[in-house]
């Protein structure tokens, strides 16, 4: 698919940066003229992906989180969130609803939420090398009024 525009950001895995990532994603996606519902879906999915990186990738330290957003052919927004943290030993298991390595305060619904709010979700991970979450959302083109 041809790329029409993109941004690439990197920030430390600190909880305060989750809100920044949501706002940056929403600001970038705005050029596609999404509905409020589509914008809410994007912000929620980004929040889940970034929070996963902050909480699970770097449980005892602060490392880098990279976020890339691209606009592709067909009015598709692609969002990639990548960390260089501890990785996920069993991605299939981690994607099961209610599975969490983050303790009792975590719901274990992060990947489920990402998948339900986006049209596509792909997770790649390697132990001690990090995790890459790639999500896509087709933004509906509005008919001229």
Catalytic residue numbers read 48, 52, 106
Burial class (CB in 10 A: 0-12, 13-18, 19+), 15: exposed
DSSP states of 39-93 as a string? Answer: HHHHHHHHHHHHHHIIIII-SSS--EEEEEEEEETTTEEEEEEEE-SS--S-HHH
């Amino acid at each position: 698919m041809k790329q029409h525009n993109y941004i690439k950001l990197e920030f430390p895995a600190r909880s305060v940066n989750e809100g920044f990532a949501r706002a940056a994603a929403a600001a970038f996606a705005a050029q596609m003229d999404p509905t409020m519902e589509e914008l809410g879906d994007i912000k929620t999915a980004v929040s889940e992906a970034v929070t996963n990186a902050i909480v699970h990738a770097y449980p005892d330290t602060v490392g880098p989180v990279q976020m890339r957003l691209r606009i592709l052919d067909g009015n598709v927004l692609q969002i990639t969130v990548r960390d260089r943290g501890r990785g996920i030993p069993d991605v299939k298991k981690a994607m099961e609803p209610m599975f969490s390595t983050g303790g009792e305060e975590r719901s274990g619904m992060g990947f489920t939420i990402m998948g339900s709010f986006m049209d596509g979700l792909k997770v790649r991970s390697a132990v001690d090398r990090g995790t890459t979450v790639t999500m896509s959302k087709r933004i509906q083109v509005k008919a001229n009024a």
